[in-house]
Chain A
């Protein structure tokens, strides 16, 4: 109900309402973007683009489900484009100059805690497609059916990406636990 009112007020041009939506969901959006891209400045760009796109579509926008899920799906879509562009650049780059996907931009304007660092580092070991399904499932609370629909893939593909992703995470997280206990 609150989100619907906020969207309605945004439609009326309320900056205050847009600010409230941003404050309410920026954490979720930035966590998703950081977990998917493992890079602060790219995450910031993604969230920027999500809000621009949201406002641009306001005139015809109708909120039928959860605003959080909608925004997170938008962020995932944007992040996917960023990832594709990154891969494209990586293919074209001089092999002598390695790309460092985990490198943060120069900005320290986004500060995150240890848990997000762990999450981001763990996710960096997965394929982008696996990260996407896992994050949308856990963070946006989306069902595999909805994830599949939003990504344009079969439900079983979404489920297998999730399963393989978790298998990989088990090894990574076990290693982390072992490393911590051996210190």
Chain B
């Protein structure tokens, strides 16, 4: 036998047996580092769908603008301070306005680098919302940055990113859009947050010849419309928000916000030049997409419901062999993208690139279903819990996810994705082994 063949044979027939202690010893250091890696990955912020779907920094700007609108809406809702104007009255007045617009100058300073943006915001109760954003470059030139359209009638949000010559369309089903409309625009929700903040009256003043009354909060618990920002940059740590309201019309004249987020990013925004009851038509909200702009395809955002959560968990497990460790939308999105990247070769039979992209995006969004659902459960105070870190597809009797129902019982999704309603006592028994781990 040739030496090469002999060596091959010896290698092929070689065998090593290790004891469990040896295996533990060999893997010991690796597992320790893996745990550190895991802890590092877990230290992330709360989720937000916008950040997840749109990774492009310019679309982030557009999204931030959308959230700023919600912020403004929220600021209208402070409780009365005993001064001449009750903010609830301001809210009532705003709701009577069919359409309005204003300018917003934002300076975002992150790691000593500032970005200046000027946005024109147009809001119509009937047609939706349009934001046109310009970036101010270092030579003080205004550069068309992006346009954002929120179109309730079409259940769509469209981002046009001029600097990249591309556009993205998010298509929401009824549930999803309703949910986000509620999250960012429903006064009842935002009132709950604002009312919890300490705030003071700044007394009367004059702005542009208009007599105004001011309100101020420095309460870091302020969450107004900054939920989205919090997702980008952590919670607000330093807050200084001033709203000036016309004492005659009860409508806002100027809004100043200076917020430092936990990650150190500072946002300074001034909203001004409010024009109330402007005349608008549906055409004003018709998306303008310049010729030659690339579409990144329509992203259909599925309904936030149990069924889609289970569908997403099943899909994830079929690719990864286990469930996501947690349902933080950022982490899940990263992992889902990784999985999609791995399986994209299996889509090779689809010749059409657009169709392929659509299918891959569909799979990705589908895998995000559990995160969206969990986020909603948290938001609705349904006392959800998720145990994907320790429960796998073979764990028939272990609780993978649960949340409280209106009747006091708990809805439980088990490791095999079967579902059952249980009493709180039964749930306690079911969760005992999980909590002991």
Q: Which residues of B contact A58 (CB under 8 A)?
A: 34, 37
Max chain B C-beta neighbours (<10 A), residue from A109, A110, A135: A109
Q: Does A59 contact B (CB under 8 A)?
A: yes
Q: Is the CB of B30 within 8 A of A116?
A: no
Q: Is the CB of B11 within 8 A of A139?
A: yes
Q: Is the CB of A55 within 8 A of B10?
A: no
Give the nearest-CB partner of B392 in chain A. A16
Q: Of the candidates B10, B23, B41, B322, which one forms a contact with A26 in the assembled complex, judged by CB atoms under 8 Å apart?
A: B23
Q: Is the CB of A138 within 8 A of B18?
A: no
Would you list which residues of chain B between 4 and 26 have a CB under 8 Å from chain A? 4, 6-11, 13-19, 21-23, 25-26
Q: Does B428 contact A (CB under 8 A)?
A: no
Q: Of the candidates B4, B8, B35, which one forms a contact with A13 in the assembled complex, judged by CB atoms under 8 Å apart?
A: B35
**Segment touching A, from B74-82, B132-140, B186-194, B334-342:** B334-342
Q: Is the CB of B11 within 8 A of A111?
A: no
Q: Of the candidates B3, B16, B31, B321, which one forms a contact with A5 in the assembled complex, judged by CB atoms under 8 Å apart?
A: B321
Q: Of the candidates B9, B27, B335, which one forms a contact with A22 in the assembled complex, judged by CB atoms under 8 Å apart?
A: B27
B30 CB to nearest A CB, Å: 4
Q: Which residues of A contact B44 (CB under 8 A)?
A: none
Q: Is the CB of B322 within 8 A of A9?
A: yes
Q: Which residues of B contact A30 (CB under 8 A)?
A: 16, 18
Q: Does B433 contact A (CB under 8 A)?
A: no
Q: Which residues of B contact A4 (CB under 8 A)?
A: 342
Interface size on B, residues (CB 8 A): 43
Q: Does A182 contact B (CB under 8 A)?
A: no
Q: Does B320 contact A (CB under 8 A)?
A: yes
**Segment touching B, from A43-51, A89-97, A149-157:** A43-51
Q: Does A100 contact B (CB under 8 A)?
A: no
> Known: A1-B342, A47-B26, A110-B18. Contact between A10 and B320, CB under 8 A?
no
Would you list which residues of chain B between 340 and 356 have a CB under 8 Å from chain A? 342
Q: Which residues of B contact A134 (CB under 8 A)?
A: 7
Q: Is the CB of A8 within 8 A of B320?
A: yes
Give the nearest-CB partner of B339 in chain A. A8
A112 CB to nearest B CB, Å: 5
> Known: A47-B26, A51-B27, A55-B33. Contact between A111 and B17, CB under 8 A?
yes
Q: Is the CB of A115 within 8 A of B13?
A: yes
Would you list which residues of chain B between 298 and 339 have a CB under 8 Å from chain A? 319-322, 324-325, 335, 338-339
Q: Is the CB of B26 within 8 A of A51?
A: yes
Give the nearest-CB partner of A109 in chain B. B22
B118 CB to nearest A CB, Å: 38
Q: Of the candidates A16, A52, A119, A166, which one forms a contact with B33 in the assembled complex, judged by CB atoms under 8 Å apart?
A: A52
Q: Does B292 contact A (CB under 8 A)?
A: no
Q: Is the CB of B31 within 8 A of A18?
A: yes
B297 CB to nearest A CB, Å: 24
Q: Which residues of B contact A167 (CB under 8 A)?
A: 3
Q: Mark A115-150, 1 if CB is under 8 A from B, else 0.
A: 110110010000000000011001100000000000
CA distance A1 to B15 in the complex (A): 25
CA distance A59 to B39 in the complex (A): 13
Q: Does A14 contact B (CB under 8 A)?
A: yes
Q: Is the CB of B29 within 8 A of A51?
A: yes
Q: Does A86 contact B (CB under 8 A)?
A: no
Max chain B C-beta neighbours (<10 A), residue from A12, A16, A115: A12
CA distance A169 to B22 in the complex (A): 32
B319 CB to nearest A CB, Å: 7
Q: Is the CB of B3 within 8 A of A170?
A: yes
Q: Does B262 contact A (CB under 8 A)?
A: no
Q: Mark B28-49, 1 if CB is under 8 A from A, else 0.
A: 1111011101100100000000
Q: Which residues of A contact B37 (CB under 8 A)?
A: 11, 13, 55, 58-59
Q: Is the CB of A8 within 8 A of B342?
A: yes
Q: Is the CB of A119 within 8 A of B7?
A: yes
Give the nearest-CB partner of B39 in chain A. A13
CA distance A8 to B322 in the complex (A): 12
Would you list which residues of chain A between 45 and 98 have a CB under 8 Å from chain B? 47-48, 51-52, 54-56, 58-59
B20 CB to nearest A CB, Å: 9
Q: Which residues of A contact B30 (CB under 8 A)?
A: 18, 22, 48, 51-52, 54-55
Please provide the 7 A-B residue pairs with the shortest distance between their CB atoms, ordered closest to farther. A13-B38, A51-B30, A116-B14, A109-B22, A115-B13, A52-B29, A119-B10
23 residue pairs of the A-B complex, CB under 8 angstroms, read A5-B342, A8-B320, A8-B339, A10-B34, A12-B38, A13-B38, A31-B11, A52-B30, A58-B34, A109-B21, A109-B25, A111-B18, A112-B15, A113-B13, A115-B13, A115-B14, A115-B15, A116-B10, A119-B10, A119-B11, A119-B14, A169-B3, A169-B6
Give B contacts to A, CB under 8 Å: 1-4, 6-11, 13-19, 21-23, 25-31, 33-35, 37-38, 41, 319-322, 324-325, 335, 338-339, 342
